[in-house]
Chains A and B, each alone.
Chain A
Amino acid sequence: KNEVEQSPQNLTAQEGEFITINCSYSVGISALHWLQQHPGGGIVSLFMLSSGKKKHGRLIATINIQEKHSSLHITASHPRDSAVYICAVVSGSARQLTFGSGTQLTVLP
């Protein structure tokens, strides 16, 4: 069983829809990253969370440490949000990243 599980694997939405991507993990963590990867490969860190909730523009990330669960929400989705979204947890004394398998989001105009 993977230490980090994301759902769904693929998500297609219409422009303007509210989107939720989920991440569950099984290990103790010190932080969790949400990453965005556009075609071509470059990865951008959207959020780093250790508790509670963060908001940046139309993106909202939440984490529940007790339930070992995090969600990434996109409000008023737009075709430019189409990308792979990856959850990654920071754990261990070396604070290494363990990645989820990613969610491919496609937002249709």
Chain B
Amino acid sequence: QVQLQQSGAELVKPGSSVKISCKASGYTFTSYDMHWIKQQPGNGLEWIGWIYPGNGNTKYNQKFNGKATLTADKSSSTAYMQLSSLTSEDSAVYFCAVGGFDYWGQGVMVTVSS
């Protein structure tokens, strides 16, 4: 069955960067888009962008240009998202989701605090 296993919670300092991962199993990793979604505490959901692991193509929500960088490692079936120049506004839970947003990871809580 399809599973997306995300990395653990992160506590990071303002101005720094963080890289979170999403390890996929149960399907052909290179054949489906991997999406990333942001959810701030008590708030709704925002689409950050997608990566197609087959060729590394990416598409970003303009709002996250320069903030998020999506990559994928075919050898380990793992997708990554790096967030840079972190501020308190980046404190949120980040999800990965595959294909037509059918399956979601469990989410990673990123807390930005000094």
Answer yes or no: do A and B interact: no
Interface residues of A (CB under 8 A from B): none
